[in-house]
Amino acid sequence: MAEYAVILVHTTSHAVYAERVLKHAGLAARLVPTPRHLSSDCGSAVRIPADQRAAAAEALSAAGVEFDRIELL
């Protein structure tokens, strides 16, 4: 089982906002450079513990934060 997952977002604005929302929800979110093998976008993604994926998706949806997808690292 992977230790971490990353939430891929459109742009750094979304990444920073998503991180804020997730931390507010008590999740261990951290901004990281977007892994190249997952996206050709420049910029940042939000890393979370793999077991917090469902909670993260729920928190982002509840706050209306758009994200592309969540991938295991």
Partner 1 sequence: MNYLDNAATSWPKPDSMAEAMLRYLRDVGASPGRSAHRLSIQAERLRLEAREAVAELVGLRDPLRVVFTHNGTAAINLALFGLLEPGAHVVATGMEHNAVMRPLRALERRGVSISLAACRPDGTMEPAAVAECLRPHTRLVVMNHASNVCGTVLPVRQVGALAHARGIPLLVDAAQTAGCWPIDMHADNIDLLAFTGHKAMLGPTGAGGLVLREDFDISRLPALVHGGTGSRSEHEFQPEFLPDKYEAGTPNAVGLAGLAAGVRYVLERGVDKLRAHEQSLTQRLIDGLRSIRGVHVRGTHDAARQTAVVSFTMDGKSPAEIGLALDEQFEIMCRPGLHCAPRAHLTMGTSPAGTVRLSPGPFTTLADIEQAISAIASLAAAEAHG
Which residues of the shown chain bind partner 1 in the complex (CB under 8 A)?
10-17, 20, 31-34, 40-44, 64-66
Cβ nearer to partner 1, comparing 15 with 27? 15
Cβ nearer to partner 1, comparing 25 with 51? 25
- Cβ atoms of 47 and 56 closer than 8 Å: no
The distance of closest approach from Cβ of residue 55 to partner 1 in the complex, given in angstroms and rounded to an integer, is 21
Give the per-residue SS3 of the chain: CCCEEEEECCCHHHHHHHHHHHHHCCCCCEEEECCCCCCCCCCEEEEEEHHHHHHHHHHHHHHCCCCCEEEEC
The distance of closest approach from Cβ of residue 72 to partner 1 in the complex, given in angstroms and rounded to an integer, is 20
The distance of closest approach from Cβ of residue 1 to partner 1 in the complex, given in angstroms and rounded to an integer, is 26
